[in-house]
Amino acid sequence: MTASAYRFPSRKELTRLSALASPLLHFNLAEELAQLRSRALWQRGARRSSKTLVKYPDLHIVLVLMKGNSRMGTHHVDARISIHAIEGRIRVRLAEEVLEVSSGELVTLDYARPHDVEAIEESAFLISISWPGGTKEERHAWKQNIS
């Protein structure tokens, strides 16, 4: 028998995942940020907290809250992304340049661009991740859920 890192989601998790892909979603970002700030881990000093707001096969949107002087290390996503600063100031580091992004500003990155994100001060931002047609696994799961 081989071990698998995959764990089947619970019924509660499946319900939440379905809600993340509803045909219409509406969010109050101030309330969502208040919920992130009220989480026990954040209260105990975690440097970052996040919540997936949208999870369609071809689009994910994640709300991220970071404490000042914290960093998401260099990574890339096999998709196009946008980073929309909502509160505070962040630095987005690319191989060829460093961008300082303030509240109300938006940065987009083409497919698979390595980058890291640093919070200059406590900051909140939305990350939108867009796959053309979604990943193979997501498209399959989506079709199963709507059948």
In a domain, 15, yes or no: yes
Residue 87: domain span: 11-146
* Structural domain contains residue 112: yes
Q: Which residues, including other chains, have CB under 8 Å from residue 33's CB and lie 6 or more apart?
A: 63, 65, 86, 87, 124
Please, are residues 47 and 73 in contact by the beta-carbon 8 Å criterion?
no
Q: What is the CATH number of the domain that holds 116?
A: 2.60.120.10
5 part of a folded domain:
no
Say what the pLDDT of residue 32 is: 97
Please tell me the predicted confidence (pLDDT) of residue 65: 98
Low pLDDT (below 50) residues in the chain: 1-9, 11, 14
The total number of structural domains that make up the chain: 1
